[in-house]
Amino acid sequence: MPLPVPVLPEGPEGVDPAWLPDEAFRPIGSRRTLIRGWGPLARTAHQNVAEACARFGGRVERDASPGPFDLVLELTPGEDSSEAFTYERGHGRTTVTSSGQRGLLYGLFHVVRLGEAAFREERPRETHRPALALRMLDHWDNVAVHPVMGQVERGYAGGSLFWEEGRARWDLDRVLAYGRLLAACGINAVAVNNVNVHETEARLLTDRIDEVADVAQVLRQYGIRTHLSVTFAAPMVLGGLAGADPLDDRVREWWAETTAQVYQAVPDFGGYVVKADSEGQPGPFTYGRSHADGANMLAAALAPHVGTVHWRAFVYDHRQDWRDRTTDRARAAYDHFLPLDGEFAPNAVLQVKHGPMDFQVREPVSPLISAMSHTRLAVELQATQEYTGQQQHVCWLGPMWSEVLRFGSEEGLPLEELVAVSNVGDDPFWTGHPLAQANLYTFGRLAWQPQADPAGILDEWIGLTFPSAPQRLIDGLHSVLDGSWRTYEKYTAPLGVGFMVQPGHHYGPSVDGYEYSPWGTYHFADRDGIGVDRSVASGTGYAGQYAKPWAEVYESPETCPDELLLFFHHVPYGHVLKSGKTVIQHIYDTHFEGVAEVEEAVEVWASLAGLVEPGRHARVAERYEEQLRSAREWRDQINSYFFRKSGVPDAQGRLIY
């Protein structure tokens, strides 16, 4: 039986509105609006404006009603799939036009972002269009609660928005509200299940596709296409075939027939996300085939329906001998995939993590991204803060993502798509930590315009989340968010070395937690120094995977940026950084500084108590208590470890255990 499709609600009861509270719509809702044009997303725009007018006394009309109007939203002849829109303000009227349904909806949210300025300040005609065609969130959600991974793998905001008690939620009102949040920041695609596909999730592809269709029907109202993570072994798990060889005609036919059935249920289905031959997931290596063979098989099944396969490049040896310093996990993606450049089908997208390791607080941009010049690429970020505080710590990642997307030139990285691992769950505050909502919003806006100033995006988020906020609140929010990524970096792993976390759950410090493990995540600290030699001259050769000038910059400790020094080089504790400090003194100083900065942020947040809704303020204050406790633990464990390794005391004589 199909699930009931909800109409646009005022908002799920008891759920924080995130960056679209009612007050954000007042500038529109208190005026007269005309909407010209018909279609499902034009209807969505109309419903949003009508709701605002019902609250704030304005009026919304359709098509050829007589004016005058303060706001006109108009669908024009042209490409209906366009996401671009034009905006202008003149002669007492604000006008948004687009030939595409999505473009009209994005234009409406542009007016919401501008607020009163949209109706005051004259602006000439300007065109807005997304720089990237696909802007997707990967939800690592399990349909059933997994005995090891729980319901949301690496999720820090409760259970799944989509799945409950082993099936799609009956009440999808909150999914609809989520769709509005995503459209408001420019996201146009969602993968609704975990890239680690277990048996229950595998069945979403076949006999449970109706549940995917129910979710897709809701997200469609905001122009969001639904994607599905699938297991490479699906022909065996679901189809009863003896194998999954991508060159076997029976396997290819099974995928073609199954994919056709998916599109019957979900006509605007986006495509598949695949994790193969990675961390135990099945893949083409079993059959002596390449990743291009595997991806192209799925691309062929999707091509008649204009679908896309996203093939993840997170492939490495996770059974490494820790005594072997020649095997380097950082090299793996490049070594596996560069030889295949140009062999992937046009509708196959290689999805590459932004760094060569695993979403660390500091690592270099993956060299694979710039090297695959004949392959469609998507860069993958992680909004859920697996290694950046797990939404217990304030860590606004906008500046880090901006650095990644601008790497190498003013034009930035050569890519068409941007993907982030979602940080959302069924927590009343969406992201667990209310301030982590800024990461979700920032991802969407950077995906729309990678060259945008992240500080400006933060301004937008604050303005939408706290409309009419006094300057003291705006300044306080900037104070606790703006430098929070670098604060987190200061009290955790130093100078790009990474990890040093508790094994398994990855929360909290454990300097040697992965040092003698098979995962390839080493710091190689000994009595004389620390860091991984990835130079061409004497190390693993990873630095040589970059094109000039970066290969030369990273090759030498003298030219390597300080913040990445220990990622690329093993150096003595007395090595002098460009700051003039030794490595060991830098470790001591930054860990004390990081804790002091968290202490200051705690005080700032406490001072805002009367300016923030009490429940939201209390949740953030509670998380800050844990962040401060954890930061002190990081400081003491890291400093003590390296004091005992190096035997070098702190030059300032502070307490180190």
End-to-end CA distance of the chain: 63
pLDDT of residue 181: 97
Question: Rounded to a whole number, what is the largest CA-CA distance in the chain?
Answer: 82
pLDDT band at 411 (very low <50, low <70, confident <90, very high): low
Q: Degrees (nearest 5) of the Cα angle 440, 441, 446?
A: 100
pLDDT band at 506 (very low <50, low <70, confident <90, very high): very high
Select which of 279, 526, 599, 600 is catalytic.
279
Burial class (CB in 10 A: 0-12, 13-18, 19+), 412: middle
pLDDT of residue 447: 97
Task: Find the length of the chain.
Answer: 657
Strand pairing of 134-138 and 417-421?
parallel
Closest CA to 541 of 528, 554, 523, 522: 554
Helix, strand, or coil (residue 380): strand
pLDDT of residue 413: 75
- As beta bridge partners, residue 150 has 146
Closest CA to 445 of 430, 463, 471, 427: 463
**Which segments within 19-164 are labelled E, that is strand?**
32-36, 59-62, 71-75, 85-90, 93-98, 123-128, 134-138, 141-146, 150-152, 163-164
The rounded distance, in Å, linking the Cα atoms of 578 and 565 is 11
In contact, 499 and 360? CB cutoff 8 Å: yes
Strand pairing of 271-274 and 225-229?
parallel
The rounded distance, in Å, linking the Cα atoms of 488 and 361 is 8
The rounded distance, in Å, linking the Cα atoms of 418 and 3 is 31
Helix, strand, or coil (residue 653): coil
Name the fold adopted by 22-128.
Answer: Chitobiase; domain 2 (3.30.379)
Closest CA to 488 of 408, 416, 396: 396
Query: Could you tell me which residues come within 8 angstroms of residue 559 by beta carbon, excluding any fewer than 6 positions away?
Result: 552, 553
pLDDT of residue 14: 77
The rounded distance, in Å, linking the Cα atoms of 549 and 551 is 6
Query: Could you tell me which residues come within 8 angstroms of residue 70 by beta carbon, excluding any fewer than 6 positions away?
Result: 31, 32, 33, 92, 93, 94, 119
Query: Rg of the chain over CA atoms, in angstroms?
Result: 25
pLDDT of residue 393: 98
What are the start and end residues of each CATH 3.30.379.10 domain in the chain? 22-128
Q: How much of the chain is in helix, strand and coil states, percent to nearest 5?
A: 40, 15, 45
In contact, 397 and 425? CB cutoff 8 Å: no
Region 421-432 average pLDDT: 97
Select which of 74, 358, 363, 597 is catalytic.
358
- As beta bridge partners, residue 88 has 95
Cα dihedral sign, 217-175-19-17:
positive
Averaged confidence pLDDT in the chain = 95
Region 561-565 average pLDDT: 98
pLDDT of residue 380: 98
Segment among 58-72, 170-184, 242-256, 317-331 with least mean pLDDT? 58-72
Region 255-283 average pLDDT: 97
pTM of this structure: 0.96
Write the CATH number of the domain with boundaries 489-532+570-646: 3.90.1330.10
Give 576's DSSP letter: B
Question: The tokens of 95 are what?
Answer: 């006008």
358 catalytic, yes or no? yes
- As beta bridge partners, residue 312 has 351
With b for 16 or more beta-carbon neighbours within 10 A and e for fewer, the 290-309 pattern comes to bbbbbbbbbbbbbbebebbb
pLDDT band at 66 (very low <50, low <70, confident <90, very high): confident
Query: Could you tell me which residues come within 8 angstroms of residue 450 by beta carbon, excluding any fewer than 6 positions away?
Result: 131, 132, 402, 405, 406, 412, 413, 418
What are the start and end residues of each CATH 3.20.20.80 domain in the chain? 134-465
279 catalytic, yes or no? yes
pLDDT band at 6 (very low <50, low <70, confident <90, very high): very low
Segment among 90-94, 260-264, 584-588 with least mean pLDDT? 90-94
The helix (H) or strand (E) run that includes residue 348 is strand 348-353
Burial class (CB in 10 A: 0-12, 13-18, 19+), 232: buried
What are the pLDDT digits (tens) for 11-57?
A: 566 789 999 999 999 999 999 999 999 999 999 999 999 999 999 99
386 catalytic, yes or no? yes
CA 587, distance to chain mean position in Å, is 29
The rounded distance, in Å, linking the Cα atoms of 610 and 472 is 11
What are the start and end residues of each CATH 3.90.1330.10 domain in the chain? 489-532+570-646
Closest CA to 406 of 452, 356, 459, 355: 452
pLDDT band at 121 (very low <50, low <70, confident <90, very high): confident
The pLDDT of residue 8 is above 80: no
Number of other CB atoms surrounding residue 130 within 10 Å: 19
- As beta bridge partners, residue 530 has 571
**Which segments within 202-333 are labelled E, that is strand?**
225-229, 271-274, 308-312
pLDDT of residue 64: 72
Question: The tokens of 501 are what?
Answer: 């976390």
Select which of 74, 214, 386, 597 is catalytic.
386
The Cα-based distances of 365 to 335, 379, 394, 520, 583 in angstroms read 15, 10, 23, 18, 23
pLDDT of residue 65: 72
- The tokens 């004497």 sit on which residue? 538
pLDDT band at 635 (very low <50, low <70, confident <90, very high): very high
Domain 134-465 indexed as CATH 3.20.20.80: yes
- As beta bridge partners, residue 96 has 73, 87
- As beta bridge partners, residue 138 has 191, 421
Region 150-172 average pLDDT: 95
The pLDDT of residue 10 is above 70: no
What are the pLDDT digits (tens) for 289-337?
A: 999 999 999 999 999 999 999 999 999 999 999 999 999 999 999 999 9
The rounded distance, in Å, linking the Cα atoms of 140 and 433 is 18
Query: Could you tell me which residues come within 8 angstroms of residue 351 by beta carbon, excluding any fewer than 6 positions away?
Result: 273, 310, 311, 312, 313, 377, 378, 379, 380, 419
Region 586-614 average pLDDT: 98
